[in-house]
Each structure stands twice: as C-alpha cells, then as structure tokens.
Amino acid sequence: QVQLVESGGGSVQAGGSLNLSCSMSGDTYVSCMGWFRQIPGKEREGVASISNSGRTNYATSVKGRFIISQDNAKNMLYLQMNMLKPEDTALYYCAADICRAPSLISYDYNYWGQGTQVTVSS
C-alpha cells in the first residue's frame, strides 16, 4: 500500500505563488506521481506528472507557470505554482502508481491523497 499526504494549500491573490508538497509512505513500488485538481461538479483534471526517471508531463493550462519536482530520497513530491489565476482554484490531489510514462489521466492512478485546497482570488 501507499499513503499520500498533501500540504501547502491556501488562499492567495491572482499572480501569487504557492508550493504544494506530497509525502509518500508505504511499501509498494511506484514509478509515477502526479498532481490533479478538482472543483465541485467537474471531473478530476490532471495538472502535472513525473516519472522516477524525471520525465514530466504538464497540462496545457499550467505549462510555463507550474513546476513539478520530486525528492526520491525523501519520498516527496512538489508542485511549485506561479502566476496563479482564479481558474486554478480547486482541491489539489497527489497521486501515485506504476506507469510507462507520466500520465495526466486519473484512471491510471490507484493511490490518492486526501487533497489540499487552493483558492486564488482576483
């Protein structure tokens, strides 16, 4: 099993920055981790993902503004979010699983955290 715990969410004004963290524990091997977000009434959306080898994949809406990174030694995943917009407001989830390539499809992940809220005001 894998346990994921997100932190770092909060409220920020448009144009500001936030840095999300995800701590992973457990004894199951995973090769990809990702960040997803969801607002009420909408499907979960892939934001960014990264493989153990460091390959990354970003949603078009966040390219150039968000940076995903990991510290494999510490089992940590990060999402640096810059130039935040009101439309980035959502509950952000960390996810992990085995993959061939970093995926932004939620069905590719079986392990999920509880989420951390990000609110961006205009």
**DSSP for residue 103:** -
Predicted local distance difference test score (pLDDT) of residue 74: 87
pLDDT of residue 109: 97
Kindly provide the residue ranges of all beta strands, DSSP E only, lying in the chain, ordered along the sequence. 2-7, 10-13, 18-26, 32-38, 45-51, 56-58, 66-71, 76-81, 90-97, 111-112, 116-121
Spatial CB neighbours of 41, under 8 Å, sequence gap ≥ 6: none
Alpha carbon distance, N-terminus to C-terminus of the chain: 40
Model pLDDT, residue 12: 98
The pLDDT of residue 59: 98
pLDDT value at position 34? 98
Q: How much is the pLDDT for 64?
A: 97
| CA 16, 42, 100, 28 torsion-angle sign | positive
Which residues does the chain have with pLDDT short of 50? none
- Output Rg (C-alpha) for the chain, integer angstroms: 13
Cβ within 8 Å of residue 23, ≥6 positions away = 4, 5, 7, 75, 76
Distance, CA of 56 to CA of 71 (rounded, Å): 14
